[in-house]
Amino acid sequence: FLMCGIAGILSEKFVSRQVVENMLSAISHRGPDGRFVFQSAGYIVGMTRLAINDLQGGMQPLSDESGRFFVMYNGEIYNSPELRKLLLGKGYNLKSDCDGEVIAHLFSEFGVESFSYLDGMFAIALWDEFSKKLYLVRDQSGEKPLYYSLQDHSKGICFGSEINCVRTALKFNPSLNLDAIWDLPTFLWVPEPQTIFNEIVALEKGGIIEFSVNSVRKTKMRKGLNINLPDLNSFNDKTSWVRNIVQNAVSSRLLSDVPVGSFLSGGLDSSIITALAASEIGPIDTFTV
């Protein structure tokens, strides 16, 4: 099933680019529209792209105009039009129409706090070329997956969009997490941050890892900066208020340079979403199993 994927390594030891190429091969099914690799000092990162927005100009990494911050990411930033206006108003120059370009520029303006401005689904790897620091970030709902493994007493980190991708980069066979094996038939999934392997863990939803060689800091992004609910008093009733919120949420997710479709589960949720989307962009293809 298709979506972008990212993979990378930061280490004080020499790492061959081929290691990251192998990681990308493990997730090639996620992105048929492009494969990109960025390398700086001990940092190598790549991504496989499924092109949705700015089909020609959305190649990664995406950087700020100073050339300090470089972003590889999987996902979509729903409020990128509003963030773009904010950045243009502050004098920043954006050179593409890709929704992800706002990330590097926001970080240049607001630092780590910038991630709290993002309304979307995302797994981000942001590299600070000056401080040689890596930031791994996952959206607050945990929609986009991101896994990592610390190596050699935290002197290195490898990360990727899938567990098998990270496993490909390890120089050893990771050990089975017996608790996770017990949890899987109990809950039908493995509760995060655990995975089926002890040495590979999931970045928690809303989590941020600031990593440089010999330094690891874990934080959580602050909630609320991307929430702008309409005033309830400006609506006749709560039903109209809720409808407005849902309509705006659906509308923001229709940002796409390729055809939009809808998955139908047979329930009210997907039916409402599809009806609202169709009312805005006309008939859309729907799929169900």
**Catalytic site positions:** 4
Whole-angstrom distance, CA of residue 85 vs CA of residue 71:
20
* Residue type for position 87: L
With residue 210 as reference, give the H or E element that holds it: strand 207-212
* Residue of 108, 54, 92 lying closest to 76 (CA atoms): 54
Let me know: does 97 contact 88? Beta carbons within 8 Å. Answer: no
* Residue of 140, 104, 147, 102 lying closest to 122 (CA atoms): 140
**Coil, helix or strand for 238?**
helix
CB neighbourhood size of 18 (10 A): 9
Burial class, 188, CB count within 10 angstroms (exposed 0-12 / middle 13-18 / buried 19+): exposed
* Residue of 175, 228, 215, 164 lying closest to 198 (CA atoms): 175
**Coil, helix or strand for 166?**
helix
Burial class, 2, CB count within 10 angstroms (exposed 0-12 / middle 13-18 / buried 19+): exposed
Rounded to 10 deg, the angle between the 80-89 and 101-110 helix axes is 50
